[in-house]
Amino acid sequence: MATLKEFVELVDHLIELTQEKTITWLREEAPSSLMINGSKVKHVYTTEYNNKNLRIYEELYKYYTDEDEYHWQNRTIIDFVDGEDSIFEFPQTSNSWDLLKAIQYRDVDIDGFMNDILKRK
């Protein structure tokens, strides 16, 4: 079984491939199956790489400190999927948020936007 260090390396490589535009991610509506126990997911990003379907998303969930007291926490989830169903969820890594941010950066084409605005100066 892969170690946490190997998962961190894998996510680092996915970040590089995303930044290099070697892999592209599609933004989709979050399936209702992710909205359990009051959790909130705005949307998910999916890609196919080496015949594997990957999904990444940020989940906002209630973290209970007492029976009636909670505060909102968030976590980034990366998993292999078959349709809407998760087959395997990656362990939480320190760089999964970085992958999500790299994907969002590409999704809204920050570079293109900045170039357009700065050319108008």
CA atoms within 13 A on the CB side of 92: 5
For the segment 67-121, what is each residue's pLDDT rounded down to a tens digit? 889 999 999 999 999 988 999 999 999 999 999 999 999 999 888 888 888 887 6
Q: Where are the domains of the chain?
A: 4-119
Nearest C-alpha neighbor of 49 from the set 93, 8, 9, 11: 11
For the segment 5-38, what is each residue's pLDDT rounded down to a tens digit? 999 999 999 999 999 999 999 999 999 888 888 8
Please give the single-letter amino acid code of residue 12.
D
- Give rounded-to-5 percent helix, strand, coil for the chain: 35, 35, 30
